[in-house]
Amino acid sequence: MTISQPLLEKIIRDAGEIALKHFHDLKHLNVEKKQPRDFVTAADVEVEQFLQTQLRENYPQFGFWGEESGQSENQTNRWIVDPIDGTHSFSRGQYYWSISVALEMDGEMVFGAVFAPALNDFYCAEKGKGAFRNGVKIGVSDLDELNDAMIGTGFACLRAYLENNNLARFCRVAQATASQRRLGSAAVDICLVADGQLDAFWEQELNLYDVAAGALIAKEAGATVTDFQGNDGIFPKQILVTNGKIYHQLLTLM
């Protein structure tokens, strides 16, 4: 492997400092709308520029795809970056937002990091080497009764004005589970499943940069990652992440 985890952690934590500076001075933060219900701030742009520059400088062999700046030339081996996942929460001073960085090589995620600066939680994984939060190995919960489960979801589909909007599915799952959470950053939500803080998470109509890093972290922590039909893989338009034990019970409700 040609990457250095300590170097990447330093770069991503430094990016977190840039985001935190804005987070602690929200009164002066410029929030714009890319389209209705879709926000971007100066922090998103600055964090992405910083990551792009640092990653290019240290890893010139890899391409780059960021939410705000788009795709560079080399897309076979590339960094996939969401500078701030959960921008709306960020802009309101809430804590669930994150910086998401994945390295994809030949169609496979080999490294993923999700840093939630306001929580000071740094999640990361390298393929085949387990998943970690702040350097401590993590794993999914062992809860096996859907009725007792705490599950997370999100509604990117509502912001996209889709008729297929997750509301009926949410009602089915809410009636079958003990607790529901809607925290606003898919990348963090998926890491909470990896860490056993949630038993499962699903969402639809996301983008690859929202889920690429989280999905690897979750898999390395022992989670199942599928679409709503049960196909293995990372499908941002339909992602279901579970602890494995409640997978079949939940899949039938998707």
Residues in region 136-165 near ligand 2AM by CB under 6 A: 154-156, 159-160
Q: Which residue has the tokens 């090589």?
A: 105
Pairing of strands 238-242, 108-116: unpaired
CB atoms within 10 A of CB 156: 21
What is the distance between the alpha carbons of residues 76 and 112, in angstroms, rounded to a whole number? 16
Contact segment (CB under 6 A) with ligand 2AM among 171-179, 182-190, 218-226, 235-243 equals 182-190
Q: Cβ of residue 192: shortest distance to Ca ion, in angstroms?
A: 18
User: Do 166 and 153 contact (CB within 8 A), yes or no?
Assistant: yes
Nearest to ligand 2AM of 104, 210 (CB atom): 210
For ligand 2AM, what does the binding mask look like between residues 44 and 83, x meaning CB under 6 A?
--------------------------------------x-
User: Out of 37, 92, 129, 137, which residue is the one contacting ligand 2AM (CB under 6 A)?
Assistant: 37
Three-state DSSP class for 137?
Answer: strand
Listed residue (138, 101, 131) closest to 116, CA to CA: 101
- What is the binding site for ligand 2AM (CB under 6 A)? 37-38, 82, 85-87, 154-156, 159-160, 184-186, 203, 205-206, 210
